[in-house]
Chains A and B, each alone.
Chain A
Amino acid sequence: MATAADLDRPADSLDDFRKEARAWLEANFDPALKGHDNAMSAVDGPTAETPAQKKWREAMGDKGWGVPTWPTEYGGGGLSRAEARVLQEEMARIGAWNPIGGMGVMMFGPTLLEYGSEEQKQAHIPGIVRGEVRWCQGYSEPGAGSDLASLQTFAEDKGDHYLVNGQKTWTSGGQWADKCFALVRTDKSQKHAGISFLLIDMESEGVETRPIRLISGASPFCETFFTNVKVPKGNLVGREGQGWEIGTRLLQHERNSLSGGSGSAARMNAGNTVPEIAKKYRGTDAEGRLADADLRTRIIRHEMDQRAFALTLRRAALEAKGNAGPSAATSVMKNVGARITQDRAELNVEIMGMQGLGWEGEGFSREELEQTRTWLWGKAVSIYGGSSEIQNNVIAKRILGMLDHQ
């Protein structure tokens, strides 16, 4: 049976790469930065960078290893997927984290590489690779959530530019973003075919963001208003009317990265698994087992769920060999990933009892307070990027061929 390491290279050349990666990481990653990654920064907004963190980001940016598999001509790492995995292993080994992230990396970059013009790639990819430009996603509108294609924000053709008017909502990180990849309507007569994919500079005149507070206390998402915003024609990705195709492709990348393929879940759990937390907070019986039988059973079920999911992600990677992008099965993965993330947080809160429901102030450790916020924030993972219900509809219709009732 093939293993992941066989994917695209013979083992000996991977050994060379492993040595190279190890040496480079040792030279560039300051061990003092271990564990200093702020897992919530994507959610709570950018945190101030220390000089050491900045140095690390710049080193990874120069090397292109923050986006290891992207092409070198735009600054990416140019690694094979097998090499990228080795890099990830080597980083995990020394507690190094990837300082380059966000929507640019997860969703917009891969989509632009596929659909963008040469000029657009030259203009936008390097800024993402170096972690210098923040992107936000302008899809949802008050009346267009799950039914995204009913969006109304209109881009009127003015010859050399579009004039954009409308309202987006739930724009995560909108108040901190430099740019926005947006779905806009260029034709009011057709629902799907009237949608275009447009890049909007958040500094443009007429763009206004209004932060909305979340139940977890943070205000990372916005209502975004566009009033007579001028957008150059060169910012249209693909053709006019191709936006739905491009936009849904991007959503596949989003689902893929949300499914747990990305490192965040593993990072939050490092040395901190649910059974370990349970032993610490609830104690064990004479035989070293978790004392609470009911809880123990549910924790075991969760751990097995998580292992089965990891094996499935791995199998999907092997089966996707030679087939570059994410597939319809990403809906399955996104739903499982969401379920596992939420189960883990619910279990942790339950295990910690009242101690796991602190809000602020005295009497709670930093981990405990973070746990409360993670639990609340996590309720969104089954909503954004296409809710679980919408993924189930995709599974039923696209994979299983089940039809709508007439």
Chain B
Amino acid sequence: MAALNEEQVMLRDMAREWADNESPIAAFRKLRDAGGGKGYDPEAWSAIGGMGWAGIVIPEEFGGSAFGYLSLGLVLEQLGRNLAATPLASTAVAASAIAMGSSDKARSEWLPRLASGEATATLAIDEGPGHDMKIAATVSGGKLSGTKKFVAEGDGADVFVVAAADGLYLVPKGEGVTVASRRMADSRSHAEVTFSDAPAEKLGDKALTQAVADRAAAVTAAEMLGMAESAFGQTLDYLKQRVQFGQVLSTFQALQHRMAKMLTELELMRSAVEGALEAIDAGRSDVDQAVSLAKAVANDTLRLVSREMVQLHGGVGMTDEFDAGLFLKRAAVLEAMWGNASYHRDRFGRLNGY
């Protein structure tokens, strides 16, 4: 566990309590079964806005708290534990792109509204089914054109932070923007967003695009950490109570060692994820490496734990009624988002000169 200050401990405990009581997995299930819409519960989102979480990485002068990425990660981890469907990650990272960017106009126009949760934002960077930073979208005369695939929380977003070949832009929903929903296995909001001559405000160059993608990967890893922790916890609880052959399953050594291995991997995952968030907060020069390490380890570990969750629950794990499938499906989507393990391993190698 990172060394948290008093405020961070309070924030974490509060987020945990809120997620457990106000946004349990059952709430996500209800949302899923209802289908359609923006992909989140507006009431839950306004509660999140009220608690100030949307402003955690927004400077105080624009209504945020500037608590930083480790704090944002703590909150997302707690939400991840309960598979809470909220646009917090996308809104926060998009807001931080605006904050880091060069447009005063964008800052004063959008940041206060994003900090309060009144508006939501998202990143529109990838143009294919994977994350590879190959970007074709173009801007000419202040108008952006291009198609972005699998934009998370794209259905409800009020404003998009969009990557073009020469850098990052801000494009509000409206003129020149078409949003088409994509129904995916995790039952969350993903949209294909087409920009045709959409009015765009420049935020920064390609370096900013990469910095923002790294932040997105880091907070995704934080959500994954929470998911892995709770998938592991639920599996452990089940093994301690399910009886076969006259014994609880947890007495079988073959299963004990698998749980022990998962716990070990989880420890490494936590350090890698918190390490990336801290590197961002400290403004260190090796954020890129820290993020690739975190996302690669997070991908591998959540994959292990979510697959084992199904397997170790046996037939129950295969039923929709039980939560293992929800973890499995969300895990696979998050794995593919912002770089899968092979992308980040390769990048890590290149950054280190091998």
Contacts and interface: CB of A to CB of B under 8 A. Distances in A.
Given A352-B129, A359-B183, A214 B318 contact: yes
A214 B319 contact: yes
Interface string A378-396: 0110111001110011000
Contact of A213 (B186, B310, B317, B320): B320
A169 interface: yes
Interface in B333-354: 333, 335-337, 340-343, 345-346
Contacts of B345: 294
Contacts, number: 125
B319 A215 contact: yes
Nearest to B150: A354
A281 B314 contact: no
Nearest to A362: B180
A263 interface: no
A231 B173 CA distance: 67
Nearest to A405: B253
A336 interface: no
B130 A358 contact: no
Given A145-B315, A353-B129, A387-B311, A215 B186 contact: no
A295 B317 CA distance: 28
A91 interface: no
Residue of B149, B180, B192, B342 contacting most chain A CB atoms (<10 Å): B342
B244 A363 contact: no
A140 B315 contact: yes
A362 B314 contact: no
Contacts of A350: 335-336, 340
Nearest to A396: B254
B325 A145 contact: no
A360 B183 contact: yes
Interface residues of A, number: 49
A329 interface: no
B187 A353 contact: no
* Most chain A beta-carbon contacts within 10 A, residue among B185, B336, B342: B185
A2 interface: no
Given A169-B315, A215-B325, A145 B346 contact: no
Contacts of A213: 319-321
B181 interface: yes
A123 interface: no
B34 to A, nearest CB: 15
Contact of A359 (B187, B310, B337): B187
Nearest to A297: B342
Given A350-B340, A376-B328, A363 B180 contact: yes
B315 A361 contact: no
B182 to A, nearest CB: 5
B290 to A, nearest CB: 20
Of A350, A357, A388, most buried by chain B (CB within 10 Å of CB) is A357
Contacts of A354: 129-130, 149-150, 184, 190, 333, 336-337
A215 B182 contact: no
A357 B340 contact: no
B311 A383 contact: yes
Contacts of A150: 244-246
Interface string A342-354: 0000000110111
Nearest to A356: B129
A215 B324 contact: yes
B165 interface: no
Contact of B332 (A140, A357, A384): A357
Interface residues of B, number: 49
A157 interface: no
Nearest to A295: B342
A376 B325 contact: yes
A215 B192 CA distance: 25
Contact of B182 (A145, A353, A363): A363
Contacts of B131: 353
A48 interface: no
Interface in B185-217: 185-187, 190, 192
A205 interface: no
B29 interface: no
A379 B336 contact: no
Interface string A134-147: 00000010010111
Interface in A280-295: 281-282, 292-295
B1 to A, nearest CB: 31
A238 B332 CA distance: 48
Contacts of B252: 389
B241 to A, nearest CB: 12
Nearest to B247: A147
B329 interface: yes
Nearest to A388: B311
A215 B183 contact: no
Interface string A162-182: 000000011000000000000
A355 B180 CA distance: 15
B255 interface: yes
Given A147-B245, A354-B150, A362 B182 contact: yes
A357 B318 contact: no
Contacts of A361: 181-183
B28 to A, nearest CB: 15
A355 B318 contact: no
A392 B325 contact: no
B129 A281 contact: yes
B244 A146 contact: yes
Contacts of B324: 215
Contact of B346 (A282, A292, A382): A292
B128 interface: yes
Nearest to A140: B315
A169 B328 CA distance: 23
- In this complex, which of B254, B320, B341 has the most chain A Cβ atoms within 10 angstroms of its Cβ? B320
Contact of B317 (A212, A364, A383): A383
16 contacts: A146-B245, A146-B314, A212-B320, A212-B321, A215-B319, A298-B342, A353-B130, A353-B131, A353-B340, A354-B129, A354-B184, A357-B336, A358-B185, A363-B182, A363-B192, A389-B255
Interface of A: 140, 143, 145-147, 150, 169-170, 212-215, 217, 281-282, 292-295, 298, 349-350, 352-364, 372, 375-376, 379-380, 382-384, 387-389, 392-393, 405
Given A145-B315, A146-B245, A354-B129, 17 more contacts: A213-B319, A214-B320, A215-B320, A292-B343, A353-B340, A357-B184, A357-B186, A357-B329, A359-B185, A363-B180, A363-B182, A364-B182, A372-B185, A379-B307, A380-B318, A383-B318, A389-B255
What 5 A-B pairs have minimum CB-CB distances, sorted nearest first? Answer: A215-B325, A353-B129, A355-B129, A294-B342, A353-B130
